[in-house]
């Protein structure tokens, strides 16, 4: 077993909207934390140089020998080994990149990658001191529709590494093309980007106020209904112990959470799991992905050395 005492994880979360990064100690306490818009990384021609410039000051200040690894949470499709980035629908020119290898060579430190929604799920299980045995599911609605699953405390990746892409299940009759490259994804009907479009084109308001000002509008409620259908589909297939619901959309002011949960239950079989499924609301902590990435790194390092 490796010793991880008195060291730090250099942790990065790159989402569709924000890039969060900082140091996390081995008790999973945040030592140093920053948040910037993802657009700078998205526009960068040299993504590795961008990350090196961002992270090198931490190594200079805290000492290379005190950094366990660089651990990253990404809104990207990647291989099962978590070394290769295949596609990143919300980030420009960030596909088909052997990110772990390139960043290790540039930074001189081990690099551990994971999907951002998986690290959010790990964070919430740890933060809320929840039982992680059996199947635990998470749905996080932000810029896109993210989904994750743990089985007996282990992130489920699937045979190819592409498990739990809930936002990209198909909707019959929907022909609009998704940024993932195929048509008809349910994410096109329910996520933060959909709300931004409704706010700009129909309601003429700031998207942050959309539920507060127009919460009873059927066009808006339809986005919640589609979200409920997606979540109910996942519950029907997996029958998890509980579902963690979170993300920036669900955290919005006056988001109709009770309506969402009722719609989910209406789409589940009677009596079970409709009457028995438990919903847990995520903490909404800004640092969740960064700390979750550190939790994932510890798990991966311990598994590797057992």
Q: How far apart are the C-alpha atoms of 294 and 289, rounded to whole Å?
A: 9
Q: How far is CA 299 from CA 47, 156, 225, 287, in A?
A: 27, 13, 36, 19
Identify whether 271 is preceded by a cis peptide bond (ω within 30 of 0): yes
Q: Give the pLDDT of residue 270.
A: 98
**Whose CA is closest to 296, among 165, 162, 153, 158?**
153
Q: Give the pLDDT of residue 3.
A: 39
Q: Give the pLDDT of residue 17.
A: 86
Q: How far apart are the C-alpha atoms of 151 and 42, rounded to whole Å?
A: 33
Rounded to an integer, the average pLDDT of 114-135 is 96
A 10 A CB-CB count for 64 gives: 11
Beta-carbon contacts of 38 under 8 Å, excluding residues fewer than 6 positions away, are 14, 15, 16, 17, 18, 19, 90, 91
Structural domains in the chain, sorted by start: 8-116+286-305 (3.30.420.40), 129-281 (3.30.420.40)
Rounded to an integer, the average pLDDT of 267-278 is 98
Percent over 70 (pLDDT), the chain: 98
Q: How far apart are the C-alpha atoms of 67 and 73, rounded to whole Å?
A: 17
Task: Read off the pLDDT band of 2 (50, 70, 90).
Answer: very low
Beta-carbon contacts of 8 under 8 Å, excluding residues fewer than 6 positions away, are 23, 24, 25, 26, 31, 62, 66, 67, 68
Asked if the model's pLDDT at residue 4 lies above 80, the reply is: no
Q: How far apart are the C-alpha atoms of 203 and 211, rounded to whole Å?
A: 11
Beta carbons of 211 and 253 less than 8 angstroms apart = yes
Q: How far apart are the C-alpha atoms of 10 and 194, rounded to whole Å?
A: 33
Asked if the model's pLDDT at residue 18 lies above 80, the reply is: yes
Q: Give the pLDDT of residue 99.
A: 98
pTM above 0.85, yes or no: yes
DSSP output for 60-128: HHH-GGGEEEEEEEESSEE-TTS--EEE-TTSTT--SB-HHHHHHHHHSS-EEEEEHHHHHHHHHHHHT
The rounded mean pLDDT for the chain is 95
Q: How far apart are the C-alpha atoms of 163 and 156, rounded to whole Å?
A: 7
- Burial of 103 by CB count in 10 Å (0-12 exposed, 13-18 middle, 19+ buried)? buried
């Amino acid at each position: 077993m490796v010793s991880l005492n008195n060291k730090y994880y250099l942790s990065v979360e790159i989402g569709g909207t924000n890039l969060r990064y900082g140091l996390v100690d081995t008790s999973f306490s945040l030592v140093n934390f920053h948040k910037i818009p993802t657009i700078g990384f998205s526009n960068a021609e040299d993504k590795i140089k961008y990350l090196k410039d961002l992270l090198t000051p931490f190594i200079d200040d805290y000492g290379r020998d005190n950094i366990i690894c660089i651990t990253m949470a990404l809104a990207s499709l990647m291989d099962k080994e978590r070394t290769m980035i295949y596609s990143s629908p919300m980030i420009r020119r960030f596909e088909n990149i052997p990110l772990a290898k390139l960043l290790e060579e540039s930074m001189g430190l081990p690099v551990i990658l994971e999907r951002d929604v998986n690290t959010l799920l790990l964070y919430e299980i740890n933060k809320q001191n929840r039982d992680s045995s059996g199947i635990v599911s998470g749905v996080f609605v932000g810029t896109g529709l993210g989904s994750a699953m743990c089985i007996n405390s282990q992130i489920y990746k699937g045979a190819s590494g592409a498990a739990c892409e809930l936002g990209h299940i198909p909707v019959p009759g929907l022909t609009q093309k998704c940024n993932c490259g195929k048509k008809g994804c349910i994410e096109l009907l329910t996520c933060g980007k959909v709300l931004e479009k409704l706010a700009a084109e129909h309601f003429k308001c700031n998207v942050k106020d959309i539920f507060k000002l127009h919460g009873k509008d059927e066009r808006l409620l339809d986005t919640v209904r589609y979200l409920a259908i997606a979540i109910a589909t996942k519950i029907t297939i997996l029958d998890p112990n509980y579902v963690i619901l979170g993300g920036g959309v669900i955290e919005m002011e006056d988001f109709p959470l009770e309506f969402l949960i009722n719609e989910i239950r209406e789409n589940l079989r009677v009596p079970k799991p409709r009457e028995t499924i438990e919903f847990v609301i995520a903490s909404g902590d800004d640092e969740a992905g960064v700390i979750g990435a550190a939790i994932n790194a510890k798990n991966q390092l311990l598994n590797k050395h057992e």
